[in-house]
Amino acid sequence: MARKASELACPATARPDRHAYSGCPQLKETLMRHAFTQAARSALALGLFAAGLGLSGAAAAQEPIIFVHGYSGSSSNFDAMLMRFTASGYPRAKLYGFNYSSLTSSDRTSAASLNTFINSVRASNGNQPVSVIAHSNGGLVVRWQRAKLGGQAGMRRFITLGTPHKGTTSAYGCYSPACFDMRPGSSFITQLAGAGCDRSLWSANDGVILPASNAQCGTSVQTASVGHIAMLTDTSVYNQVRAQLP
């Protein structure tokens, strides 16, 4: 992920709070990384990565799976989920993390980069279709790639976790191209017109996607009442992701 945020000065009106989309990018990024680290450590302490849960159906064919992070995140946000996949017997070499510059690039630009990345992954795997798991804003990036760049043909399954499919009012608290894309009624969301969805997981207690129901698109499944970042580390959410893959 580009580190441009550290080069920006916070406005005088910026206030430290727990909002994941605060007006101060570097403060927001620090808080988000801290929240994820704490959640991951808690999961590790409980020994949840050694569950040894198996995969079934088409997912057992061990197709490439690509993970797409959310706003201000990185592929490392999926470390907990990757550990669960490998603990279940999924080859680590088949799990790919895509990084994009969410603090500086529009979702359209990021989708073009994702399209190139997916084509490269497929070329390295006998042109096999991929499945994609995306968190938060990453889901919008994938939807654009699927709906506008022809990506749907090479993607067998697409699962989102807490993605603002219909926008989120919390995006009014940040200022970047991707933030503008996440706002309700944005030209980005309007042009998608509901296209590009597949499976969506959403939490009534998300806290970042406001209203929470805006994370529903395509076939929707409600998760346990966990927070936005906790969706990446919660055991039950992982089990629901796995159940949606076949």
Summarize pLDDT for 224-241 with one digit per residue, the tens: 999 999 999 999 999 999
Q: Which domains are assigned to the chain?
A: 20-51+61-244 (3.40.50.1820)
Average pLDDT over residues 188-207: 98
Supply the pTM of this predicted model.
0.79
From 13-27, 149-163, 188-202, the region with the lowest mean pLDDT: 13-27
Summarize pLDDT for 72-92 with one digit per residue, the tens: 999 999 999 999 999 999 999
The model's confidence at residue 61, banded by pLDDT at 50, 70 and 90, is low
The model's confidence at residue 54, banded by pLDDT at 50, 70 and 90, is very low
Is the confidence at residue 37, as pLDDT, over 80?
A: no
Q: What is the 3-state secondary structure (H, E, C) of 166-177?
A: CCCHHHHHCCCH
pLDDT for 62 equals 86
Is the confidence at residue 187, as pLDDT, over 50?
A: yes
pLDDT for 179 equals 97
Q: Decide: residue 110, CB within 10 A, 0-12 exposed, 13-18 middle, 19+ buried.
A: buried
Q: Map residue 130 onto helix, strand or coil.
A: strand
Angle between helices 137-148 and 107-123 (to 10 degrees): 70
pLDDT for 107 equals 98
pLDDT for 75 equals 96
